Each structure stands twice: as C-alpha cells, then as structure tokens.
Amino acid sequence: MRERVGFIAAVERNELTFAEICERFEISRKTGYKWRARYAESGPEGLVERSRRPLHSPNATPRRVAEALEELRRRHPSWGAGKLLTILGNRHPAWQLPTRSTGCEVLKRAGLVRQRRRHSRPGHPGPPLSEMNAPNAVWSADFKGQFKTRNGVYCYPLTVSDGFSRYLLGCQGLPRRARSSRGQYSHGCLRSTGCRGSSGRTTGLRLRRRHWGDCRGCRCGGFV
C-alpha cells in the first residue's frame, strides 16, 4: 500500500516520465496504468489490495447439496462423507453430487468434523553432553525400548556402551525402569570391567534424560 501511494505521488509530481517512474518502482507499465486508473476512480481506497477470489466457479458444490449434506451430518454425527453422499444419491438421483474428498471439505468448513489431535514427535536429543575423545572416558546407558515376554511380563533392556568406540559393554533385561535397578546394573558393569580413567577414577556414565529424566542428586557416582 505504501509503495502504491508513493507511485501515485510520483506520477502527480510529473517530474519523470511514466516509464521511468514504473522502472523506479520495479513494476510494469500495465500495472502502473491499472493503479493510476483505480486511484482516479476510487481515490486512495482504490489502491487497497483486492481479493483474487473468482466471482463464479463452475465446479463449485451447489448450495442445496451442501446444505443437505450438512443437515444429514448433524442428524448422524458418526457417519462419514462417503456414507452421507451415498444416502443423498439414493434420495436425490438427479442431483450432481461431489466426490468424497469434496464432501469432507464441505463438512470441515461447516465445523462438523472434529480435528484429530496430532501427537508431537520427539526430536533429536542433540549434541553429546560430554566430550568423548578417548576410549572409556564416557559410558552411555540407555533403555532400548521394551517387549513382553511369554509369561506376560514386560522386559526393559538396559545397555551400557562406550561413547567413543560405541562398543557394547553390557545388556541386561530389567523388570522396570526404576533408578535403583539401573544404578545397580551400571555399578556392576564398572566392577566387572574394572575400567578406570586417566585420572585414576572410575569412568563417568552419561545418562540420557530423554528416557530416564533428571538424575541429579542420584548416588550413581558419575551420572550427568
């Protein structure tokens, strides 16, 4: 809108030719003539952006068909557009009914379709929380999903791996994701391997909070 007002002001000042003014505002002369004609006809209101919606659409759904479809949907809220159109076709054989997808759009515009709630998908956990520049510097403990055994009890496999080499140090099926169970298994891996870092202390473990939550304050001796 501001560009169009400036264009009309430049035209009325008549300091440049019409072609030069159009070139300065980076528009064609056809567009410039259109804006000038609209301003001469309606004043500043003629420069407002107009709707490009067509005045008539030959493929639009007839109003009586849309109203009948909406009324039938209100009577039977659990019926879909395909079934409703079939019933309308049996009742009014002479009507030209839309397709199922168009019928769904008609019901959606009328507010008769309940939108399904989309579940958010978890994103990438992001960069590593600790630098992994040497073997056995940082170990990662993570649950790899769960499955149900033959006796109907769920099993939660917990894995411990080296963050630098990706070497799998251990895998244990736990009956639950309790902090005590995973802490005992992690300490068991440390005792069984006897691995110690360059500083003489037992190697650290990196906990993936995406599955386990915040573990600060836990007496796990290295979970971060």
DSSP 78: T
pLDDT at residue 43, rounded to an integer: 87
3-state secondary structure of 195: coil
Q: What pLDDT shows up at residue 200?
A: 35
User: For the domain that residue 105 is a member of, what is the CATH number?
Assistant: 1.10.10
139 with 206: CB under 8 angstroms?
yes
> What is the per-residue pLDDT for 92?
93
Q: Are residues 170 and 196 in the same domain?
A: yes
Q: Is 82 part of a structural domain of the chain?
A: yes
Residue 123 lies in a domain: no
Same domain, 154 and 208: yes
Residues 103, 77, single domain; the answer is yes
Does residue 133 lie in a domain region?
no
Query: Domain range for residue 101?
Result: 63-109
pLDDT at 185: 61
- Would 126 be classed as within a structural domain? no
pLDDT at 89 over 90: yes
Phi, psi of 23 (to 5 degrees): -70, -35
Residue 118 domain-assigned (yes or no): no
Residue 169 lies in a domain: yes
Q: What is the mean pLDDT of residues 196-202?
A: 40
| Greatest CA separation for the chain | 91
pLDDT tens column, 145-183? 888 888 989 988 888 888 888 888 888 888 887 665 655
Helix (H) or strand (E) holding 70: helix 63-75
Query: pLDDT band at 218, cuts 50/70/90?
Result: very low
The reported pLDDT for the residue numbered 127 is 72
pLDDT tens, residue by residue, 102-150? 999 999 999 998 877 777 777 777 776 777 888 888 888 888 888 888 8
Do the domain assignments include residue 8?
yes
Q: How many domains does the chain have?
A: 3
Answer whether residue 120 is part of any domain: no
Q: Per-residue pLDDT for 222 more than 50?
A: no
Q: Which of 92, 82, 198 is nearest to 137 (CA)?
A: 198
For residue range 9-58, list pLDDT tens digits in order: 898 888 889 999 999 889 999 999 998 998 888 888 888 888 888 877 88
